[in-house]
A and B are shown apart, each in its own frame.
Chain A
Amino acid sequence: MPRISEMTDVDFNGVEQPYVPPKTLNISDNVKLHTNWDREIDPVTYEVIRHNLWQINEEHGATIQRISGSPVAMYALDLNPSILTEDAEFVYFGPYMQYMSGVTDTQVKWTLEFRSENPGISEGDMFIANDPWVGAAHQQDVMLLCPVFWEGELFCWVTNCLHQYDIGGITPGSFCPAAESAYDEGILLPPLKIIENFQVRKDIEAVYLRSSRKPDLVALDFRAQMAGNTTARERILDLIKRYGSGIVKGVMKRVIDNSEKAYLEKMARIPDGYWQDRTYVEACRPGDRRTHRVMLGLRKEGNKLLFTNNDSAPQDGAMNATYSGWRGSIMVAVNELLCWDQYFAPGGALRHIEFDPTPGTFNCAHFPASVSTAPIQSMEISLYPAYNVLSKMIYPDTEMRKDIMCIGGTSQWPATLFRGIDQWGERYGYLLIDPIGGAIGAFTMADGINTGGQSRTPICQLPNIEHTEQNFPILFLYRKELPDSGGAGQYRGGLSAESCFIPHNTDVITQDTLSSGNATPTSSGMMGGYPSTTNAYTFIRNSDIFDNIAASKMPEDTSELRGDPITLQLREENFQQSASDVYAVRWTGGGGFGDPMNRSPADIAQDLENYSITVETARKVYGAVLSDDTTVDVEATTKLRAEIRTARVQRDGRKSKVRNGTVLFEVGSCLNAMSDGGGQYWACSNCSTELGTTAENYKGFCIREDNPVSASNPLIGEPDRFIDDAVTFRQFFCPGCGHLIDNEIAVDTDPVLADISILDGLNPNV
């Protein structure tokens, strides 16, 4: 299938195919852009205005939260405000829901191209928009775009995006796991002038609200979005009045130029190459037992980054995202790993980043694919692999290495969609927010953060159990962190958690599941680190929980209960949870970093002390010898680890050779790119054993051991409960010293992945 760049005869205008902005926007002469700005600005004025612009964007976000007051805005922080230049380059983007960055500039650009002639863009207008082919992530993420005018010229844009409770479609809440196409989902609004000359167009507002099951709340959120934009617009105008339009615009351009400069300096420090990651989506519709391949490629040449999704699965069922959703997902990782020091000014980096996916794949789907579940499935699975490829790209630079993060928790969202009549006699429908508790993956020099949230929403808060129980007819038996849920490694991934509840003060709860990453782990580790637990649903029908309640002996785990265990499929529809049926949902944790057998005995002891790992894992995965449940025998451990490694090398029996050249760069925790008179080659960084030339895949020269996927984490069960494909945990060890270099989890028919390739002849360190 061709990529976008290869489809020269197709119009990417946001109708059948996604909107892909051209290099030069085609804007009507009716709109005059403000294009005069000062190039010379003194550093103090710059800093004062820069700080002000950041504050304006922050106040914009706070205004939306205050007025909306909805759990979506307050807890899940499913919103984001932005400031963009007249031609839709990012100046600032907020610290809330990160993927919304990649879906913002495209919508402004589309509006400039397709609305500037008719109905026109004028002072006092705002446009509402949620069409995923124009640029929204999914239909529920409604944007409000506000042009800011100064003396008749379009000076800049302020925009915001806020997730709505319900905007129609076949499932309450508008996440539609059984949708066959976008026609089954919420209303689609290509950018539409809902506010004209400072007045709300009542007719258009009515159309917008008409399709929602919760029109009052959507109306209130619309007011919150309007107030947010108004606040930001007025404050920017105040700045212009005080400092002049040339200075303020000059600062905006310099914010972008500076972020570009920072980006370019980083690019100059790392080698050119090509990095790949592979993972899988399970079940695209009820009854589906296939795995759907997700590929991400990143090519760096000089300053340019190119992202592709070659060989990803075709669009299907209700698991898809559009071009903008995929791009927005990758932007999350770009922002956090490359642009964090520029505090959410991604505009500069974007000047050098190209996105070239293949239309018709599930994460670049064309109209009218079903995309309402995109943010919790297709986008998550597009987003987290981007951490891996970017991390591997920046690893050679020792400073940037500190910015690396392994994939974190809830890398696929195990949704609990439940509904019925609540304890107050009212109808309810809800998506359990608990998995937002996530986990942060391991870093290159520290462990990840247990239940540290989802890295794609750096600030978020899980509701208290008492909050959830007040609003819904359930009783939590527990919510707990799980030992071993974080991926093992020299640095361990953060632990995730599990929530377990029974119906309470209601007869029955009707539920749907919507998940992936239950058979194959999606929080893979990096450079020898192990994956975290998978997602998991546990359902015990007719349990003996009421015996426990009567005896005042409550369980702390579902394994303590008797009853009929039912395997819930990943898109199970309309199953009933009755009074004694116990339901539990576990989410993925953080991936680990580096060979677990390199973890220090002191850290292992600490893990045992804190219930972060079990005794069995300490022994089996970490190769630790314990003198009691929390004490590691350091000497015996060192000895045991050496024996395990030696035995592995001897078992393999191949002849390996040490090759002493110069290190070109360190590309992994146990892998170097080297060179000598004979050329460039890979080598183990521990013992300098050669692992092929850099034109080849180093993994082909490693000892390979294949194990069941359950060996990668003790909490992972048998994949065949959910999928028909066989899946394997492949491990690659140095044939010289037996150290672990990398792991991969793959469907058996997929080839060994070449995760790291260095482009020949380039070496930034020389």
Chain B
Amino acid sequence: MSSYLCGLDIGGTFTDCVLIDDSGALTIAKAPSTPSNFAEGVMEAVNRAATKIGLALPDLLEAIEVLAHGTTVGTNAVIQRRGAKVGLVTTKGHNDVIHIMRGSRGLSGQDIKLIVHIPESSKPDPIIPKRMIRGVSERVDCFGKVVVKLNEDEARAAIVELRDAGCEALAICLLWSFLDPTHEKRIKELAQELAPELYVTCSSELAPKWGEYERTTAVALNGYIGPTTVGYITKLDEQLTDMGYEPPLQITQCAGGTISVNKATAAPLLTLDSGPVSGVTGSLYLGGLMGFPNVITSDLGGTSFDVGVIHEGRPVVSYRSIVHQYEYFLPKVDVQTLGTGGGSKVWIDKTTRTLRVGPESAGADPGPVCYGRGGTIPTITDADLVLGYLDPKNFAGGTMQLNRDAAVQALQALADELGMGLFELASGVAQIAEFQMADLMRKVTVQKGLDPREFVVFAFGGAGPVHMGVAARELGVQKVIVPQGDTAAVWCAFGAASADILHVNEQVNIMSSPFDLEKVNTLLEQLESRGRKQLMDDQVDPERHQFALSLDMRHRGQINEVEVDLDSGVLSNSDIDRLRARFVERYERLYGRGAALPDARLEIVTYRCRATALSRKPKLVKTTELINEVDPGAQSDNREIYWAESGRKSATRIFDGYKLKPGNSLDGPCVVETATTSMVIHPRQSVNVDAFGNFVIDPNHN
């Protein structure tokens, strides 16, 4: 019997399951999500997959080699503000760190309007109120030296008081604990003794990074989502074990791979907001297969536009994240979000009589006017419908009827107000939205020193392929790929199944050049052995272990850091010049030519080891049979569509995406429809079907 890789993804409506057998063949199943107990839906989806391949559930579970799973339990707890009651123990005198929030209103990355109009902004509701915070006497300094011994009496009193005040999770974060974790560890021991029922997180274990605000936020959030996430994962794991699945359950994490159940229960923060990351992981695999090392991944849904970047075969990562205005340390595949989606509202600035799109969204409910659920303000989706990009009778695979008349009426009112034609206005809306998308994609590349023209775009999400052709043309990218076949529908589950086991271990120890190599090598060795142990705990064969080491470095006295890869974990004197050269090259790539100070002293800030176990990959099969000729039956319809290029409506060919064959090629204007999306191919653009069955749009075809 074959063994299987299994990927699971819980969505708002459906739970997806992907199975990959020894030959690389895929099996896909869906079951309704069960929010009251997500584990039920998960088991049902796996059960349905088992049925599809003719196995009983226990037999399948026994045959699964790795079961990887993305969870949104933590994310939901944060969104719904239903996390645990957290207590914080910190260094006395520094109780207010997460209230001061570094003196900002936590507005990084938010809409400019909130920043400009101060009365509209505020700090978020505190994750931990002041009365649930206790300072204890202790102190470590910047050399990692203990200046004040831990006052254990104060620590005991703090724990007992917090416990008695109803705390469910205890977060511990002391100043400079990443250099000497002894006091944090001792407080944890005391907590286990005095309040064994509490869920405890230490900053030196979760995020041994430099900066007490982002470290405190990390432990606070970890505590906040801890009990719920642990409850969920443990339950699922038990059910799977009962059914006969033995290897450690793998959970997808923000850094782009998976972690075992044990680690996920200790550090649920690693799963917070991990959903969009699986899409990037899937793209990484597919991009590799198709020979595209540089990919911008884009996912345009109803309410948001998520963008990630893969450069030279590696996802662009960040080590700082933000949720509900709180910034925290977390290694994460960098996915930037814009509040532009199909539901973005179209409006007129009354004073200046100018046309605006977003950032406010009609969301899914009431949603666009054409949904007929009571929405009265037109949205991008309404414009798409009016232009003819969408088929009112065949939206979302025919599951929903759209009311075109209502959309026309709503947009006509705006057009009249501006003295424009209806179609002129609707195509203007599309264009403004497309330019906003191009801007975000430009930002995530150019601001990282990357040239978008060297990239292809992967377009996911129902609304993405409608607009990505124009956005890509604006950006100057060469190709837009709309992944197809069954994988696209269950992309995140596929991402989970194709993810590697990954442990990112970090340690901060700030050191100026000339470097103490012995110390550097010791720190690297410690990180590597920690990773090795984690992989062994995951039952990964040592032959499959891989270790990638890197250093975050900067000019002494400056703020910008860059991550510099190391060839090995042992540095010798002869490596130093190479390290400096590599730093300068990376620095100038990111920050511009001439930005590096060639003679300045360098500083190492963070040491990092990525311990990976490469998992078996699905083998997607390329067809060798490419057909030029388009089956006449593939054209399903002719529809009147307004094209901005010609400034008028014309009868346009509509194709059934499922009837197009690898090798088929179509010139625009035309529209290709599938159950989940419409690809809008503008005049002077083209689309073809590649050997994997993906659609490839050429945005600049003549």
Contact = CB atoms under 8 A, between A and B. Distances in A.
Nearest to B108: A459
A4 B555 CA distance: 48
A553 B212 contact: no
A451 B93 contact: no
B354 A50 contact: yes
Contacts of A95: 112, 115-116
Nearest to A467: B211
A227 B424 CA distance: 38
A269 B560 CA distance: 48
B104 A453 contact: yes
Contact of A497 (B100, B512, B555): B100
A216 B597 contact: yes
Contacts of B555: 69
A465 B105 contact: no
Interface in B153-182: 154, 175-176
B119 interface: yes
Nearest to A75: B559
Interface string B394-423: 000000000000000000000000101000
B212 A475 contact: no
Interface stretch (A27-35, A38-46, A177-185): A38-46
Interface in A245-270: 258-259, 261-262, 265
A83 to B, nearest CB: 15
Nearest to A630: B131
A450 B93 contact: no
Contacts of B572: none
B352 A258 contact: yes
Contact of B138 (A459, A466, A552): A552
B365 to A, nearest CB: 28
A368 to B, nearest CB: 33
A466 B176 contact: yes
A43 B93 contact: no
Interface string A445-460: 0100111110100111
Contact of B99 (A436, A440, A450): A450
Contacts of A69: 554-555, 558-560, 591, 595
Contacts of B135: 556
B93 A556 contact: yes
A224 B595 contact: yes
A437 interface: yes
Nearest to B512: A424
A337 B107 CA distance: 19
A464 interface: yes
Interface string B413-445: 000001010001101100110011001000100
A15 B443 CA distance: 43
B102 interface: yes
A340 B117 contact: yes
Interface in A290-305: none
Nearest to A469: B142
Contacts of B138: 552, 554
A741 B557 CA distance: 51
B211 A223 contact: no
Contacts of A437: 100, 102-103
Interface residues of A, number: 90
B130 interface: yes
Contact of B115 (A74, A459, A475): A459
Given A455-B118, A610-B130, A466 B211 contact: yes
Interface in A187-234: 216-217, 220, 223-224, 227
A437 B100 CA distance: 8
Given A95-B115, A450-B123, A451-B100, A261 B351 contact: yes
B112 A343 contact: yes
Given A66-B595, A258-B354, A554 B130 contact: no
- Interface size on B, as a range, is 35 or more
A144 B103 CA distance: 29
Given A66-B595, A453-B105, A553-B151, A481 B355 contact: no
Contacts of B352: 258-259, 261-262, 342
A112 B510 CA distance: 49
A55 B101 CA distance: 27
Contact of A67 (B118, B354, B436, B591): B591
Contact of B510 (A265, A452, A470): A470
B139 interface: yes
B354 A336 contact: no
Contacts of B264: none
A51 B432 contact: yes
B354 A460 contact: no
A71 B559 contact: yes
A475 B100 contact: no
Interface in B558-597: 558-560, 590-592, 594-595, 597
A63 interface: yes
A342 B154 CA distance: 53
Nearest to A95: B115
Contacts of A438: 103
Contact of A470 (B94, B142, B148): B142
A41 B104 CA distance: 39
Interface in B506-551: 510, 512
A401 B629 CA distance: 67
A658 to B, nearest CB: 34
B94 to A, nearest CB: 6
Contact of B141 (A63, A451, A463, A504): A504
Given A460-B103, A466-B176, A479-B94, A42 B142 contact: no
Contact of B592 (A227, A463, A504): A227
B130 A466 contact: no
Contacts of B354: 43, 46-47, 50, 258
A464 B211 contact: yes
A70 B556 CA distance: 10
Contacts of A449: 105, 118, 121-123
A226 to B, nearest CB: 9
A481 B92 contact: no
B139 A475 contact: yes
Contact of A458 (B115, B418, B443): B115
Contacts of B176: 466, 469
A599 interface: no
B607 to A, nearest CB: 16
A367 interface: no
Contacts of B130: 610-611
A48 B471 CA distance: 12
B119 A43 contact: no
A461 B558 CA distance: 15
Nearest to B603: A470
A467 B100 contact: no
Contacts of B213: 464
B93 A464 contact: no
A402 interface: yes
10 contacts: A258-B354, A341-B117, A440-B118, A443-B119, A446-B122, A450-B123, A470-B510, A475-B139, A475-B147, A554-B137
Interface of B: 92-97, 99-105, 107-108, 112-113, 115-119, 121-123, 129-131, 135, 137-139, 141-143, 147-151, 154, 175-176, 210-214, 351-357, 418, 420, 424-425, 427-428, 431-432, 435-436, 439, 443, 446-447, 510, 512, 554-555, 557-560, 590-592, 594-595, 597, 600
Given A336-B116, A449-B121, A460-B104, 15 more contacts: A42-B420, A43-B354, A44-B355, A70-B559, A95-B116, A405-B118, A437-B102, A449-B122, A451-B103, A459-B115, A465-B175, A470-B142, A470-B510, A479-B94, A552-B154
User: Which 8 pairs, one residue from A and one from B, show the smallest C-beta to C-beta distance?
Assistant: A478-B93, A437-B103, A44-B428, A258-B352, A462-B103, A69-B560, A69-B558, A552-B151
Interface of A: 42-44, 46-48, 50-52, 55, 59, 62-63, 66-67, 69-71, 74-75, 95, 216-217, 220, 223-224, 227, 258-259, 261-262, 265, 336, 340-344, 402-405, 423-424, 436-438, 440, 443, 446, 449-453, 455, 458-467, 469-471, 475-481, 497, 500, 504-505, 548-549, 552-556, 609-611
